[in-house]
Amino acid sequence: MTSIHVQDLTKEYGSRRAVDHLTFTVEPGRVTGFLGPNGAGKSTTMRLVLGLDRPTSGTATVGGRPYATLHEPLRLVGALLDAGAAHGARTGRDHLRTLAVANRLPARRVDEVLEETGLTSVARRRVKTYSLGMRQRLGIAAALLGDPSVIMLDEPSNGLDPEGIVWIRSLLRRLADEGRTVLVSSHLMNETASFADHLVVLGRGRLLADTPMREFIDARVQPRVRVRTTDPAALEELLDRNGYEAAQSEDGTWTVLHARVEDIGRLTSEARVPVVELTTAEGTLEQAYLNLTASETEFTAQPQEA
Least Å distance, CB 133 to ligand ATP, is 19
- Centre a 10 Å sphere on the Cβ of residue 116 and count the other Cβ atoms it contains: 17
With respect to ligand ATP, which residue has the nearer C-beta, 35 or 246?
35
Q: How far is the CB of 44 from ligand ATP (least distance, A)?
A: 3
Closer Cβ to ligand ATP, 2 or 185, answer by number: 185
CB closer to ligand ATP, 18 vs 143: 18
State in angstroms the smallest separation of the CB of 206 from ligand ATP: 12
Closer of 140 and 246 to ligand ATP (Cβ):
140
Nearer to ligand ATP, 10 or 255 (CB): 10
State the first-to-last Cα distance of the chain, in angstroms, to the nearest integer: 55
Of the pair 74, 202, the CB lying nearest ligand ATP is at: 202
- Closest to ligand ATP by CB, 19 or 86: 19
Q: In angstroms, what is the minimal distance from the CB of 13 to ligand ATP?
A: 3
User: Which residues are at the interface with ligand ATP (CB under 6 A)?
Assistant: 13, 16, 18, 36, 38-44
3-state secondary structure the chain: CCCEEEEEEEEEECCEEEEEEEEEEECCCEEEEEECCCCCCHHHHHHHHCCCCCCCEEEEEECCECHHHCCCHHHHEEEECCHHHCCCCCEHHHHHHHHHHHCCCCCHHHHHHHHHCCCHHHCCCEHHHCCHHHHHHHHHHHHHCCCCCEEEEECCCCCCCHHHHHHHHHHHHHHHHCCCEEEEEECCHHHHHHHCCEEEEEECCEEEEEEEHHHHHHHHCCCEEEEEECCHHHHHHHHHHCCCCEEECCCCCEEEECCCHHHHHHHHHHCCCCEEEEEEECCCHHHHHHHHHHHHHHHHCCCCCC
Smallest gap, in angstroms, from Cβ of residue 20 to ligand ATP? Answer: 10
How near is the Cβ of 40 to ligand ATP at its closest, in Å? 4
In the bound complex, what is the minimum distance in angstroms from residue 19's beta carbon to ligand ATP?
A: 7
Neighbours of 14 (CB within 10 A): 5
